[in-house]
Amino acid sequence: MSTSFQESPFPLTPAQRRAALIAAERERRQAQRERREVAAHRSVLMAMSQAERAQRAVLLRHVAGQVRGLAQRVAHTERLEALARELDATVGGLTAAAPGLALWRRDDWDAFLRSALEAGDGIGQVLLLLVERELVSLAPERLRLLRAAVDRDMTAAVDGPDSWRIARGAAAVLGGLRPQPEDLRAMARSADLAMVDSALDQDPALVTTIRPEVSAIEGNYLKARTRPRLVDHDALVQLGWHEEIRRRQLVAGELPRDLHEDDPWVLRHRLFEGDVGAAALVPSALPELVEILDVLRSPRQFVETQGADPSLWRLLDAALGDDLAGTGHLTFDVWRRLARARAMLYSDDLAAAAACVRDVPSLPSGGRMAVEVHNLALYCAVLSGDVNSARALLRELRAPGRSAATARNIDVAETTLNRMRDGDKRSALEDFESPWVVLGLDEPAGSESSVERPWDARWVALQRETKTDAARRIRVNRARQRLAVGDEERRHFIVPLAADSYVPARRGVLFPEASPMPRRTPPPDVESVRESLRRVWREAISTALREARPTELWQELHDARG
């Protein structure tokens, strides 16, 4: 232990004091050196301890990494073993059909593929397993198609080749469902219209979906099956759809003249014309009309139920005979009197014609039928010299909005009445009388006719009829002469104003509406559709096999088990 300098009780000499100070300084410096040595030793010891710890940590990390790597390799090996066992179990059931599959551990991918293609549909489940376990890769679209094929799911919304779409569409149609548009178009492109026909039977509107996919002939066929009114005549001929050709000819009044009188279409025309004798042929030729025509035995009762059907008006008129009493059906009653009046007028029976239109039931003023009735009655009144009735009828015809033809007739009638009042009766009536009516013909609208001099044939017939009626023959010859020279001034009165007012509309029970053409393809065979489904499933699986590619994991598994 060092001794500190202390003041001596006795006075020190300078030399002693100096010696004492030197000794104290030496002692301080020694203590300082000792402290530095202790600190240095401590630093060395601390540095040695940190190095040991760092070395130990590095060693521990290295050992841990080695352990983890070993664990991962063990886990990977176990996974490969598990995959191998799973594949063995899945493939095991297919080795009977494809023995080569049993060698999948030793074969390369190409050899495995050849064996897999021999295994049938069952290999699809194996391929799905390979994809799910990431042993092989497959495009997402192809994978969805593969899964649908393996699950036999034709309702899956997957893209596929036309063969898949056709089969899926067929399955939908057989199940009473609406096929998807793309499936329907694929069915149309296949040129096999049987299944398309079945789809159209369920929903004719589908024809708009497939029209761009078919040929012109097929398009006409499909149009005839769904929208027959849109099929033109040339297409009907091309299709050989004779029923629709005849139906249109009947509606147009253009049936060929060489058809036999008991032909069903001719029979319909005869009934429309009022041929009561044709009704006897109805049971055998047109059984669908038997019940309707049976009530002709009670025509007035018939009018109550069928009077609104213009195709039957002439039959009703014939059955009612000469009794012009009202039936209660205003339109029919007015038409009947008009038709009878024209027939009488064309037969040169002016009095009978006037009687037919004298008591016509009241009609809406200015209506088409009312104008026609008043026009015909005015013609009869002027020719009969009944001036008062003629003046009254002129007032009826002077309604606002009258046609040009009506206005012209009014002028002609007024001029004639004035000439008669002035004493020029004979020539006035000769000018007034229509040459067409004298010949028993309707005046062509606008003086247009598809036949040159259409009155000649009728004039020849009237020459035979009027052999004993000199007065009428004179009028007939004068009428022909007026028409032959053109009668450019057109001074005569026009009857009828509109010929179709005297003719029943060509519609009703005797004129069937256009209906879709019956299908010409056989109904689809259920078994053939099922076979097509099996075929597309096989195709989807085999295509997926060819497009699948092994991954590195497959190679590792193959190497580990080889």
Closest CA to 220 of 206, 231, 233: 231
Is residue 507 one of the residues assigned to a domain?
no
Using CA atoms, how far apart are residues 520 and 498, in angstroms rounded to an integer?
44
Q: What is the pLDDT of residue 20?
A: 82
Using CA atoms, how far apart are residues 433 and 494, in angstroms rounded to an integer?
9
What is the residue range of 9's domain? Answer: 1-75
3 state SS of 512: coil
Dihedral Cα 137, 139, 142, 146, nearest 10 deg: 30
CA 46 to chain centre: 94
Do 134 and 179 lie in one domain? The reply is: yes
Average pLDDT over residues 268-295: 88
Do 455 and 541 lie in one domain? The reply is: no
Do 301 and 406 lie in one domain? The reply is: yes
Using CA atoms, how far apart are residues 326 and 307, in angstroms rounded to an integer?
12
Do 386 and 261 lie in one domain? The reply is: yes
In tens, the pLDDT along 517-541 reads: 999 988 888 888 888 888 888 888 8
| Confidence at 147, pLDDT banded by 50, 70, 90 | confident
Q: What is the pLDDT of residue 1?
A: 46
3 state SS of 486: coil
Q: What is the pLDDT of residue 13?
A: 86
Using CA atoms, how far apart are residues 534 and 90, in angstroms rounded to an integer?
21
Q: Given the structure tokens 């007034």, which residue do they identify? A: 432
Is residue 57 one of the residues assigned to a domain?
yes
User: What whole-number percentage of the chain has pLDDT above 70?
Assistant: 87
pLDDT score of 481 more than 70: yes
Contact between 162 and 195 (Cβ < 8 Å): no
Closest CA to 338 of 294, 368, 365: 368
Q: Given the structure tokens 């009027």, which residue do they identify? A: 466
Using CA atoms, how far apart are residues 39 and 425, in angstroms rounded to an integer?
164
Q: What is the pLDDT of residue 89?
A: 67
- List the beta strands (DSSP E) in 360-465: none
Average pLDDT over residues 254-262: 91
Is residue 527 one of the residues assigned to a domain?
yes
Using CA atoms, how far apart are residues 268 and 265, in angstroms rounded to an integer?
5
The answer to whether the Cα torsion of 255, 260, 264, 266 is positive or negative is: positive
Using CA atoms, how far apart are residues 545 and 109, in angstroms rounded to an integer?
11
Contact between 135 and 537 (Cβ < 8 Å): no
Q: Provide long-range contacts, Cβ within 8 A and 24+ apart, for 341-344.
A: 341/376, 341/380, 342/376, 342/495, 342/496, 342/502
Average pLDDT over residues 442-467: 77
Do 185 and 314 lie in one domain? The reply is: no
Is residue 88 one of the residues assigned to a domain?
no
In tens, the pLDDT along 353-382 reads: 999 998 777 676 667 888 999 999 999 999
Contact between 267 and 248 (Cβ < 8 Å): no
In tens, the pLDDT along 58-82 reads: 777 777 777 777 767 666 666 666 6
Q: Given the structure tokens 């007028």, which residue do they identify? A: 345
87-91, 295-299, 396-400: range with lowest mean pLDDT: 87-91
Is residue 313 one of the residues assigned to a domain?
yes
Phi first, then psi, for residue 304 (nearest 5°) are -65, -30
Using CA atoms, how far apart are residues 426 and 419, in angstroms rounded to an integer?
9
Using CA atoms, how far apart are residues 562 and 560, in angstroms rounded to an integer?
6
Using CA atoms, how far apart are residues 364 and 376, in angstroms rounded to an integer?
17
pLDDT score of 36 more than 90: no
Task: Show Cβ contacts of residue 194 under 8 Å, excluding neighbours closer than 6 positions.
Answer: 521, 522, 523, 524
| Confidence at 129, pLDDT banded by 50, 70, 90 | confident
Is residue 438 one of the residues assigned to a domain?
no
Rg (CA), the chain: 56
Closest CA to 362 of 375, 374, 376: 374
Dihedral Cα 58, 59, 63, 65, nearest 10 deg: 10
Do 474 and 391 lie in one domain? The reply is: no
In tens, the pLDDT along 151-170 reads: 888 877 677 888 888 888 88
The widest CA-to-CA distance across the chain, in whole angstroms, is 204
Phi first, then psi, for residue 477 (nearest 5°) are -65, -40
Closest CA to 399 of 362, 434, 432, 374: 374
343 compared with 57, residue with greater pLDDT: 343
Work out the end-to-end distance of the chain between its first and last CA atoms, rounded to an integer number of angstroms.
Answer: 85
Do 236 and 260 lie in one domain? The reply is: no
Do 213 and 284 lie in one domain? The reply is: no
Q: What is the pLDDT of residue 451?
A: 56
Q: What is the pLDDT of residue 347?
A: 92
Give CA separation, 429 vs 350, 418, 482, 492, 525, in Å. Answer: 14, 11, 14, 9, 78
Is residue 83 one of the residues assigned to a domain?
no
In tens, the pLDDT along 239-257 reads: 999 999 999 999 999 999 9
In tens, the pLDDT along 397-450 reads: 887 778 888 999 999 999 999 999 999 999 999 999 999 999 999 888 755 554
101 compared with 352, residue with greater pLDDT: 352
Kindly report the pTM of this predicted structure: 0.70
| Element counts in the chain: helices (H) and strands (E) | 27, 2
Using CA atoms, how far apart are residues 43 and 292, in angstroms rounded to an integer?
129
Q: What is the pLDDT of residue 50?
A: 79
Q: What is the pLDDT of residue 359?
A: 77
Q: Which amino acid is at 292?
A: I
Cis amide bond preceding 496, omega within 30: yes
pLDDT score of 559 more than 80: no
| Confidence at 339, pLDDT banded by 50, 70, 90 | very high
Is residue 387 one of the residues assigned to a domain?
yes
Closest CA to 307 of 324, 325, 291, 327: 327
Mean of all residue pLDDT scores within the chain: 83
pLDDT score of 98 more than 80: no
Do 272 and 131 lie in one domain? The reply is: no
Do 258 and 384 lie in one domain? The reply is: yes
Closest CA to 28 of 53, 5, 61: 5
Provide the domain count of the chain.
Answer: 4
Closest CA to 251 of 429, 507, 447, 515: 507
Tell me, letter by letter, the H, E, C secondary structure of 167-222: HHHHHHHHCCCCCCHHHHHHHHHCCCHHHHHHHHHHCHHHHHHHHHHCCHHHHHHH
pLDDT score of 42 more than 70: yes
Task: Show Cβ contacts of residue 543 under 8 Å, excluding neighbours closer than 6 positions.
Answer: 142
Do 396 and 529 lie in one domain? The reply is: no
Do 470 and 543 lie in one domain? The reply is: no
Using CA atoms, how far apart are residues 66 and 72, in angstroms rounded to an integer?
10
The answer to whether the Cα torsion of 121, 123, 128, 129 is positive or negative is: positive
pLDDT score of 280 more than 50: yes
Q: What is the pLDDT of residue 53?
A: 74
Bridge partner residues of 511 (DSSP): 508
